[in-house]
Structure 1
Amino acid sequence: MVADRDILTVALPKGTLYHNSVKLLGLAGLDTEFVQDPGRQLLLYSVKDAVRFIICRPTDIPTYVEYGAADLGLVGKDTIVEQQKDVYELLDLKFGGCRFMVAVPEGAEQDLHKWNQARVATKFPRIAEAFFRQQGMQMEIIKLHGNIELAPIVGLAEMIVDLVSTGRTLRENKLVPVAEVLNSTTRLIANRVSHRLKNERINPLVEKIRQVVEEGKLEA
């Protein structure tokens, strides 16, 4: 029987990143067949690999990893930057790409620096604040949990910082992007203690994942 200290625990993100995360780990040699369609199960165990999979919300993954409930996790760079958890970022996995943009109403001033001291609505206050600080701008950051595009329409804020993929939602709400804040992709993160104590298990897996990413096998 494998001792708990020898089990490798990997946190997988629910939602849009899930299937590529599972595919990547499978290509790296782990037995992932049984996690392809987990149903309602949130904790799955591979006897063959002595690997435990935790399936959780992407925003919770840095917490699981920071506190050692998971040794490794796959999560977006945006979540890492926003939460600022004490984790070790190992690899850029090159999938799940998205962009954070500053957007303002159509017809409004598009020179970003002329919006100094304006109000900004966002679900990602730390990312937004860091960006505007880098620009030498002092802004009032208003945190919302959804429907960010509504804020300029009702006068809550002059602009927004939000994730943009196709730009359709912005167009439908008569908003235009004026600056890119952050380009985010999925990253492999590790608990700092696990990375040291379980290096004989983690390092070979990381190298296999690196090879899969560099050879573009995930995209095939």
Structure 2
Amino acid sequence: MTPAPNRSPDHLTLALPKGRILEEAVELLSRAGLPLTLPEKSRALRHEFPGVTVLELRNQDVPVYVDLGVADAGIVGKDVLVESGRTVYEPVDLHFAACRLSLIREVGATSPIARVATKYPRSARAYLSAQGIPAEVVKLSGNIELAALTGLADAVVDLVQTGSTLKANNLEELDVLYRSSARLVINRAALKLRRDRLRPLITRLRELVTPEGAEAGGAAVR
């Protein structure tokens, strides 16, 4: 979808997620040359800066706003991006907010996996299908580990950072589905219409997070 026509080609609209990624995203984008300084304790959801508009969104909404062209670019975790199923250009791994999406069970569990609970049903189903495990996938919203502890599910698929929560609840990782971190995502039409703003931003972010430009290839996420 083409970005909104009422914005000039040199104006960017960015979709940034509330929560743990926002502060680091703003700091990194500021280092990349964008004039961003979000006010503390503000309830505003839209912030205007010279040549840049920032939209504060829920994590899950960032890929939607970028894919549909309301935002030209955004920053979001790979886990959210994969789960969204949206097709956007993903040119830079920003290497922060790192975690992994894992298959988790109680320590020593040996029964067949017939039901899996998760916040990430798309990723879970793809993994189980690839592994030849015909398990039911149940979507939950919070405290995913509890599903394995109460018998609601034989295993769970959830994000892991340090693993301390798993150890505290007698759980263990059986496998890692994929590793996640914050990614820069861009609307494909905006990459052409606002190339004079977006291409330098991509280049500068690559320099900041990978000096050798290791992420130069980029990828489409489906």
- TM band (smaller chain): 0.7 to 0.9
Aligned residue among 176, 179, 184 for 1:180:
176
2:10 is aligned with 1:24: no
Superposed, 1:185-204 pairs within 5 Å as 185-204=181-200
Match of 2:89 in 1: 88
Q: Show CA shifts across 1:182-214 (max 9, x none).
A: 100110001111112111211111111111112
Distance in 1 of aligned mates of 2:150 and 2:97: 32
Aligned residue among 163, 168, 180 for 2:164:
168
Sequence identity, in percent? 42
Superposed, 1:46-195 pairs within 5 Å as 46-47=49-50, 50-109=51-110, 115=112, 118-195=114-191
Amino acid at match of 1:25: L
Q: Helix, strand or coil for the counterpart of 1:31? A: coil
2:37 is aligned with 1:40: no
Native 8 Å contact 1:11 1:55 kept in 2: yes
Q: Helix, strand or coil for the counterpart of 2:8? A: helix
Distance in 1 of aligned mates of 2:132 and 2:148: 23
Distance in 1 of aligned mates of 2:107 and 2:198: 49
TM-score (norm 2): 0.87
Deviation at 1:36, TM superposition (A): 5.5
Q: Helix, strand or coil for the counterpart of 2:133? A: coil
CA RMSD of aligned residues (A): 1.7
Higher-helix-fraction structure: 1
Deviation at 1:168, TM superposition (A): 2.1
Q: Helix, strand or coil for the counterpart of 1:35? A: coil
Q: Helix, strand or coil for the counterpart of 1:104? A: strand
Amino acid at match of 1:115: P
Change (3 A) 1:206 1:36: farther
Deviation at 1:122, TM superposition (A): 0.5
2:18 is aligned with 1:14: yes
Amino acid at match of 2:82: V
Native 8 Å contact 1:93 1:188 kept in 2: yes
Q: Helix, strand or coil for the counterpart of 1:203? A: helix
Native 8 Å contact 1:19 1:36 kept in 2: no
Amino acid at match of 1:82: E
Deviation at 1:37, TM superposition (A): 2.9
Q: Helix, strand or coil for the counterpart of 1:178? A: strand
Native 8 Å contact 1:122 1:161 kept in 2: yes
Native 8 Å contact 1:98 1:164 kept in 2: yes
Consecutive unaligned residues in structure 2, runs of 5 or more:
1-5, 213-222
Native 8 Å contact 1:31 1:46 kept in 2: yes
Q: Give the stretch that moved more between structures: 149-158 or 12-21.
A: 149-158
Distance in 2 of aligned mates of 1:107 and 1:203: 51
